[in-house]
Amino acid sequence: EERPEPSSPRRVSQYACQRRTTITNHNKIFTDAFEVLVEQAEFNENEGRCLAFMRATSVLKSLSGAVRCLGDLEGLPCLGDQTKAVMEDILECGKSSKVQEILSDEKYRALKLFTSVFGVGRKTAEKWYRKGHRTFDEVHADDTIGLNRMQKAGFLYYSDILKGLSRAEADALGRIVENTVRKIVPDAIVALTGGFRRGKECGHDVDFIITTPALGEHEGLLGRVVNKFQYQGILLYHEHQESTFDLTKLPSRRFEAMDHYEKCFLVLKLKRGLVEMDSQMDDAAQRQWRAVRVDLVVPPITHFAFALLGWTGSRQFERDLRRFAQHERKMLLDNHALYDKTKKVFLSAKTEEEIFAQLGLEYIPPWERNA
Ligand code: TTP
Ligand code: MN
Ligand code: MN
Ligand code: MN
């Protein structure tokens, strides 16, 4: 009597930091839909629903093949009735009616549009919506609305910033940042982080961590780097945040809290490549440069590994690293430190590998953190 091979038992962890997720997503049709539901839940401040769809999205991204029927989901964590219902819709009709409804919802569309501006968060978008505005023209025509510096830059360079950057452009910026930094501190460390470190082909910005091998030499460096950008004529906008770093503080329990390192959110001019120059040009394209978003973070060398791990993302990977630390190890992790609550000690680490080891986790390289 012949028996079918038992399908290999799948053990997929509920934590993204125990899954390997490359940039190849075989389930984009589902995750695109879920991302709309996440955004809608965010706009409505429905944290539980938001988390549920974020976790489901992340699990689907980690799969090595496309889901063809609901049966394929057997044994997978984080997929509840709500997520399965949406997937069933998509499997049957190619799309989800619930998602279609949101996409044509007036409020969703307005908030989505407003939050696409650099410097405009959910709260501001909501405020503009409640004033009755639905378009940028309406926002601009309203005298009662005062835009802050960041929002002004956001509107000024809107289409450039929205377009994002390619890998080649990120590399070109990396060379510019590195050359500038090394003119000030020759042995400084400039590390690419964020989405490009995870192997993404495009991104909404480029993120760098800058530090110096000699402790203390990083102080004042960022200000000098920004001055040099200004002198080179490539500085379009910057918001410099001073360090509020305190070695004695316990790691924060809240994920969304900003870290305490000195940092700078920038908009820089990037020269256009020759390839782009001969394509069809509109007004903006006739400029010899375009505006790009850059984030620079400057931790002390002693905290480099924690900063690098925290800024490499993805956001879901970071969230689950912290959740794993807290619930499975009774430890607190954030962008600065790892604290063992049982032993009441900080656990130091020079490399990301050491942090994973301290957490008792298998090391996951950056290109497998696209959770
Ligand atoms: P982002 O640059 O927002 O995201 P990304 O690089 O993953 O993707 P893209 O730019 O292409 O949209 O943030 C990078 C990581 O940095 C992210 O995991 C969250 C983390 N981060 C902090 O830890 N603290 C901060 O203050 C900010 C702004 C980001
Ligand atoms: Mn980024
Ligand atoms: Mn982003
Ligand atoms: Mn960034």
pLDDT at 341: 97
Q: 193 and 284: one domain?
A: yes
pLDDT at 6: 52
- How close is the Cα of 343 to the center of ligand 2, in Å? 35
Q: Which ligand is nearest to the CA of 260?
A: 1
Q: 172 and 194: one domain?
A: yes
The closest of 269, 354, 258 to 297, measured between CA atoms, is 258
207 Cβ inside 6 Å of ligand 1: yes
pLDDT at 9: 60
On whether residue 153 sits in a domain, the answer given is no
Residue 330: half-sphere exposure toward Cβ, Cα within 13 Å: 6
pLDDT at 1: 47
For the chain, how many structural domains are there in total? 4
H helices of 62-207, where? 81-93, 97-103, 106-114, 122-130, 136-141, 149-156, 158-163, 167-184, 194-197
Q: 170 and 298: one domain?
A: yes
pLDDT at 277: 55
> Is residue 320 a known part of a binding site?
no
Those residues with Cβ within 8 angstroms of residue 221's Cβ, 6 or more apart along the chain or in another chain: 181, 184, 185, 188, 210, 212, 298
Instruction: Please check whether residue 317 is in contact with residue 16, taking contact to mean a CB–CB distance below 8 angstroms.
Output: yes
pLDDT in tens, 299-318: 999 999 999 999 999 999 99
On whether residue 331 sits in a domain, the answer given is yes
pLDDT in tens, 264-289: 999 999 998 755 555 566 666 678 99
Q: 179 and 294: one domain?
A: yes
On whether residue 65 sits in a domain, the answer given is yes
> Which of 148, 172, 203 corresponds to the end of one domain?
148
On whether residue 173 sits in a domain, the answer given is yes
Q: 185 and 274: one domain?
A: yes
313 Cβ inside 6 Å of ligand 1: yes
If residue 267 lies in a helix (H) or strand (E), which one and from where to where?
A: strand 262-271
The encoded tokens of residue 157 equal: 């360079």
On whether residue 4 sits in a domain, the answer given is no
Domain around 81: 16-102
- How close is the Cα of 348 to the center of ligand 1, in Å? 23
Residues 340, 337: Cα–Cα separation, whole Å? 10
- Contacts from 175-178 at CB under 8 Å and sequence distance 24+? 176/234, 176/268, 177/208, 177/210, 177/225, 177/294, 177/296
Instruction: Please check whether residue 312 is in contact with residue 249, taking contact to mean a CB–CB distance below 8 angstroms.
Output: no
Query: ipTM of the predicted structure?
Result: 0.94
- How close is the Cα of 222 to the center of ligand 2, in Å? 19
23 Cβ inside 6 Å of ligand 1: no
On whether residue 6 sits in a domain, the answer given is no
SS3 of 262, please? strand
In the annotation, is 295 catalytic? yes
314 Cβ inside 6 Å of ligand 1: yes
SS3 of 297, please? strand
pLDDT in tens, 226-278: 999 999 999 999 999 999 988 778 888 776 678 999 999 999 999 987 555 55
Q: 297 and 359: one domain?
A: no
39 Cβ inside 6 Å of ligand 1: no
- How close is the Cα of 183 to the center of ligand 2, in Å? 25
On whether residue 110 sits in a domain, the answer given is yes
DSSP per-residue letters across 25-89 = -TTHHHHHHHHHHHHHHHHTT-HHHHHHHHHHHHHHHT-SS---SGGGGTT-TT--HHHHHHHHH
Q: 40 and 128: one domain?
A: no
Q: 227 and 271: one domain?
A: yes
335 Cβ inside 6 Å of ligand 1: yes
- Give, as residue ranges, everything with CB less than 5 Å from ion ligand 2: 194-195, 205, 207
- How close is the Cα of 93 to the center of ligand 2, in Å? 34
Q: How far is CA 220 from the centre of its chain?
A: 27
Instruction: Report the CATH number that the domain containing residue 298 is assigned in CATH.
Output: 3.30.460.10
In the annotation, is 207 catalytic? yes
On whether residue 199 sits in a domain, the answer given is yes
Instruction: Please check whether residue 269 is in contact with residue 296, taking contact to mean a CB–CB distance below 8 angstroms.
Output: no
| Torsion angle of the four alpha carbons 82, 83, 84, 87, in this order, in degrees rounded to the nearest 10 | 130
299 Cβ inside 6 Å of ligand 1: no
Residue nearest to atom 17 of ligand 1 (CA): 313
320 Cβ inside 6 Å of ligand 1: no
> Is residue 207 a known part of a binding site?
yes
- How close is the Cα of 303 to the center of ligand 1, in Å? 18
- Dihedral sign for Cα atoms in the order 152, 153, 159, 162: negative
> Is residue 142 a known part of a binding site?
no
Residues 307, 209: Cα–Cα separation, whole Å? 8
Q: Which atom of ligand 1 is nearest to the CA of 335?
A: 23
pLDDT at 366: 99
Q: Pick the catalytic residue: 205, 259, 320, 334?
A: 205
Residue nearest to atom 18 of ligand 1 (CA): 313
Q: 217 and 277: one domain?
A: yes
Using 70 as the pLDDT threshold, list the residues of the chain that sit under it: 1-10, 255-256, 274-285
Q: 210 and 294: one domain?
A: yes
Q: Pick the catalytic residue: 72, 105, 295, 340?
A: 295
Those residues with Cβ within 8 angstroms of residue 31's Cβ, 6 or more apart along the chain or in another chain: 25, 57, 60, 61
Q: Pick the catalytic residue: 160, 207, 259, 334?
A: 207
Q: Which ligand is nearest to the CA of 266?
A: 4
Instruction: Report the CATH number that the domain containing residue 361 is assigned in CATH.
Output: 3.30.210.10
Instruction: Report the CATH number that the domain containing residue 121 is assigned in CATH.
Output: 1.10.150.20
Q: 41 and 125: one domain?
A: no
Q: 128 and 167: one domain?
A: no
